[in-house]
Amino acid sequence: MKLLFYVYRFIGTTLFWIFFGLIGLVYGFVILPLVYLVVRNQESRQVIARNLIRGAFVVFVWVARNMRLIRCDVSGMEHWDAGASQLLLANHLTLIDVVILLSLFPQIDCVVKAAVTRNPVLRVSAGTANYISNRAPDELLDFCVERLKSGSSLLLFPQGTRAIRGEPLKFKLGAAEIALRAHATIVPIVIDCNPQMLAKNVPWYRIPPSQPRFRIKLLPPVPVAELVSGDVEPRRARHRVNESLVSMFEAELA
């Protein structure tokens, strides 16, 4: 039975990614370009594009769960305040982390890789939704701080790239600096995936030996001012905030 279920999951995963790719093509070449052309107001265009993208991701997650390709348990959603500006920080294990999280949070801002803006299918989606690109690293922090101060919520992965489950957490200092400069309220999002799927440098067709289970837990909001006193010089403050965040995540993942 285990072998049959493995074969089923392999076939199902193949069909899922074909479905994912086809929807991506329709969105990238038809739906979102039409939104860009028809809706002239930038703010309205952004709202519509993000709703459409989130809707697609909700469908993807629903399909993956109902095909028994993944299990997904989400807790702590009461800590998300759609009417407030929050900095959502999540650890990063798989490619599908992004899909699941964007399906949960309406109108969330996020940072996309520069490669996305060079992809002919994805760049229209990212541009119409007005997501932040990391193609200009010198300006990235300023853009993120500006979005938070304008009242938006922002999703970031402080690790910067996918990590291996069980390895020590290493957060880059950028997220801590953004939080300090924006005086942000941080909502940590702890993600575990066992067994890990779609890890870094692992192709989509190398599926795990058993059905992956995602556990996504939102922790209570923490104002960044509670993580460091105001009299600490900026460079040291970044490190202290970063260390506090790593400790929070490690405690939950232990």
Locus of tokens 């069980």 = 166
State yes or no: pLDDT of 69 exceeds 80: yes
Answer with the residue of higher pLDDT: 233 or 116. 233
State yes or no: pLDDT of 89 exceeds 90: yes
pTM of structure: 0.93
Q: How far is it, in rounded angstroms, from Cα 157 to Cα 87?
A: 11
Amino acid at 40: R
Q: How far is it, in rounded angstroms, from Cα 184 to Cα 178?
A: 8
Instruction: Return the CA Rg of the chain.
Output: 19
**Which residues are within 8 A (CB) of 123 and not within 5 positions of it... i.e. 6 or more apart?**
116, 117
Local confidence band at 229 (pLDDT 50, 70, 90 cut-offs): confident
Q: Quickly count helices (H) and strands (E) in the chain.
A: 9, 8
State yes or no: pLDDT of 110 exceeds 90: yes
Which CA distances in Å does 100 have to 53, 96, 138, 229? 12, 6, 29, 34
Domains of the chain: 2-253 (3.40.1130)
> What integer pLDDT is reported at residue 122 of this predicted model?
81
| Cβ neighbours of 217 (radius 10 Å) | 17
CA 39 to chain CA centroid, Å, is 26
Geometric angle at alpha carbon 229, from 224 and 234, rounded to 5°: 80
> What integer pLDDT is reported at residue 125 of this predicted model?
86
Structure token pair of residue 113? 């890789």
State yes or no: pLDDT of 78 exceeds 90: yes
Q: How far is it, in rounded angstroms, from Cα 34 to Cα 231?
A: 51
Per the CB < 8 A criterion, the answer to whether 91 and 175 are in contact is: no
| Cβ neighbours of 207 (radius 10 Å) | 20
Sign of CA dihedral 222, 228, 233, 236: negative
Structure token pair of residue 125? 């989606």
